[in-house]
Amino acid sequence: MANQNVRGWRRLIYAFGYSMAGFKVCFEAEEAFRQELFLLMFLAPLGLWLGETPIERVLLVGCLLIVLIVELLNSAIEANVDRVGMERHELSARAKDIASAAVFMSFALTVLTWGLILLPKWF
């Protein structure tokens, strides 16, 4: 592991740099991440505006952030599987499909959350 001897604030600074590098790589390489980030940029302010209580605002925006988190993990899994080999293997396909299903479930959570909070206000 890199920088094992680094402690304290320097470790946090290094960790922040690695995180930003991860965001950059995912943004550049993954179209799905860019699309979800665009949705977050549009829907997060809308969720803050439409939520009437702090809890509603956290739920509306938080589930959008969960989609991005799961997409980052999905991208990491796919990159790891592709590193092992590009040939078709049942376990590789299973790992990618399960990671993709996790992204789908995070979207389902978002739709459910937004629907349960906002639909009763309009109907």
CB 51, CB 117: distance < 8 Å:
yes
Catalytic-labelled residue, pool 52, 71, 87, 90: 71
Distance CA 18, CA 56 (A): 32
- DSSP structural state of residue 92: H
Catalytic residue status for 71? yes
CB 22, CB 72: distance < 8 Å:
yes
Distance CA 38, CA 55 (A): 23
Catalytic residues: 71
